[in-house]
Amino acid sequence: MANYFVGDIQGCFEELTLLLNSVDFNPSKDCLWAVGDLVARGTGSLETLRFFKSLSGSAKVVLGNHDLHLLAIHGKLKRANPKDNLSALLAADDINSIIDWLRLQPLYQEWPEQRLLMSHAGVPPQWDLTALRSEANRVSQTLKSKDYLEELISEMYTNDVDDYHSDLTPLEKQIYCINALTRMRYLKDDGRLDFDCKSPIQNCNHANLTPWFNVKSNIPADYTLVFGHWAAIMGQTNHVNRLGLDTGCCWGEYMTLWHFESNQRITQEKLKDVKRS
C-alpha cells in the first residue's frame, strides 16, 4: 500500500490524472490524500469531485477555502466568479449529492501512527492537538447539519475574527477555525492572522509578519504538518516536517504529489491550453 499526498488541484483534473498514472495509483490498495481546494480555476472541477467521491475509503480529503466557497455558491449565498470555471459543476445533475459529500469532509486529517496532520493552510501555532481536534470537529458537526448554510457558511465571510481567545462566542470560534485552517499564511507579532499579504517570504516587506510555520508550535515537535494553499512559496518552508504541496498548477506552474513511503515528490507541469475552433 502506498500513500500519496497531492497539493491544491483547483479543478486541474487532467494534470491530476497524469500524476496518478505516472505512479500507477491503484485505489484498491493505495490511498490518496488531498490538501483541499479541489475546485476552482481549472476546467475539471466536476470531474475532480466525482473522482474523489468515487474513491470512498481510498481518499482522505480536507476542505479548503475554495471548497467552502463552493458551498456558499451552491447555497445561493454568493455568486460564482466566472474565472473559477464552475458552470459545468453547478449545472451537473448530481450536484446535490456532490455537495452533500463535500460538506462531510473535515478540516483536518490525522494519521496518528505516523505522527502526521494535514490541513489546507496549516495549524495555528497556539493550538495543541486537543484544541485542533475539538475546534475543527465542531465545525464539521455544523457542516453536517441541515442548517449549515444559515448557521455557518453565511457567517464565515469576515476578517474580523483573526485571533483565538476564551472570549470568543461559539460561532466566532468556528469562524476563527475556518480562517486559520483554510486561509492562514502570515501571522502578526501578536499572533493574529494576517489576511492581506500573500507574497513569497523573501518579498514580504512587513517586519511584523512571520510565516505561520516559523512560529514555535504547540503541536508536538515530531509531528509532520502537510498543507497547501500558499502557491507563492512553491512548497518551500525550510522545515523538514512542514510540507507545503501547493505549487501553483492552476497558475501555470505544476502539481505536486508526495509519496510518503519514499519521501519523494513527483510533479506534473500545467498542460498548455488548447484553443479549439
pLDDT (tens digit, 9 = 90+) per residue, 28-86?
999 999 999 999 999 999 999 999 999 999 999 999 999 999 999 999 999 999 889 99
**Kind and range of the H or E element at 243?**
strand 242-244
Residues 6+ apart with CB under 8 A from 193: 124, 162, 163, 179, 180, 183, 184, 186, 187
Domain 3-269 bears CATH identifier 3.40.1260.10 = no
Given a cut of 70, whether residue 273 has pLDDT beyond it is no
Other CB atoms within 10 Å distance of the CB of residue 39: 26
Helices (H) then strands (E): counts for the chain = 8, 12
- Cell triple for residue 94? 448530481
Residues 6+ apart with CB under 8 A from 24: none
Domain boundary assignment for the chain: 3-269
Q: Provide the mean pLDDT of the chain.
A: 96
Percent above pLDDT 90 for the chain: 95
pTM of the model: 0.96
pLDDT at 272: 82
Report residue 34 as a C-alpha cell.
488531498
Region 261-275: what's the mean pLDDT? 87
Q: What is the distance between the alpha carbons of residues 167 and 205, in angstroms, rounded to a whole number?
A: 32
What is the C-alpha separation between 272 and 234, in angstroms, rounded? 20
267 beta partners: 256
Which among 264, 228, 268 has a CA at the least distance from the CA of 245?
A: 228
pLDDT at residue 207 in the model: 87
